[in-house]
Amino acid sequence: KKEAVQSERDRIRPNGSSSIPDDPLLDALLSAEAIVRQLRSSVITRTVDARRQATTGDVTDSMNQQLTLMVEWAKNLQEFQRLPLGSQIALLRHFSAQHLVMCAAFRSIHLNDAVCLTNETCLPRDTPKVPDVNRVAARIVDHLTTPMRQLQMNEIEYVALKAIAFFDPLAKGAEESHRDIDDTRQKLLDSFERHVRQVSPHRDTPRRFSNLLLLLPPMLAIARDLIEDVQMAKLFGLAAIDRLMQELLLPPDSSTDKSP
């Protein structure tokens, strides 16, 4: 298993950076990502007809699968493990919708007008089948996937930016760990900036570091839209929202299961 994880980590790491020493923090992120990829095959339910247009059921199944992987990813980060349980739960809840949006955006970087889900179905930006997710799909394509492609964002930059967004000291419920979370985020920013400005083959591209960070505000805005869509789907019974999605995506008053 260790060899498989190392192989996956080496595949993620970009070439052409041998003159720069490895960054332990980025290496840890790559290892966590590689472990999750090894778990992916046991979590993801693939469709028989890959690349077919997603249904509402495909969307909710993919969201649940991705949230399961998010929890496993976080559990493999030492900085997360050191936090008290309450702060861990707060970070997961705060980041869950952003995680769904960011993963979908980066996974779709090879597509022009669709979002690729974890189960390998596709959600076209103008799909009539899932109208409630239409707005989110179009915004992911326009404001995240397209800029990622234009910036030639690679996987190590993706995992770094994901971690920066995850370790948010303003996450509701994580106040007791504010300083530790902020310290982790600052270290991540240092490593990320160093990679973009010194290691990346695109390090001479003007304002690239700033433009990569500017992906975070639209990601947060789209994540809020996604939460609204999930709330509406639950309210009107438009989709099956399971317990994990309720606990991580919806506010506490919405996620409480009142059934006997």
Phi/psi at 253 (nearest 5 deg)? -70, -25
* Closest to 80 measured CA to CA, from 191, 192, 174: 174
pLDDT at position 19, please? 39
Q: What confidence tier does 231 reach under pLDDT thresholds 50, 70, 90?
A: confident
In terms of DSSP H, where are the helices of the chain?
A: 2-12, 24-43, 56-75, 78-81, 85-107, 131-140, 146-150, 155-166, 178-194, 208-213, 216-235, 243-249, 252-255
pLDDT tens track for 138-176: 899 999 999 999 999 999 999 999 999 999 999 999 999
Distance CA 192, CA 47 (A): 36
Look up residue 208 and give its amino acid: R
pLDDT at position 156, please? 94
Q: What confidence tier does 75 reach under pLDDT thresholds 50, 70, 90?
A: very high
pLDDT at position 1, please? 53
Q: What average pLDDT does the structure give for the chain?
A: 85
Taking residue 104's Cβ as centre, other Cβ atoms within 10 Å add up to: 25
pLDDT tens track for 2-38: 555 555 555 555 554 443 447 999 999 999 999 998 8
pLDDT at position 12, please? 55
pLDDT at position 133, please? 63
Residues shown for the chain: 260
Of the chain, the percentage scoring pLDDT greater than 70 comes to: 80
pLDDT at position 88, please? 98
Return the CATH architecture of domain 2-10+22-250. Orthogonal Bundle (1.10)
pLDDT at 183 over 80: yes
* Radius of gyration of the CA atoms of the chain, in A: 18
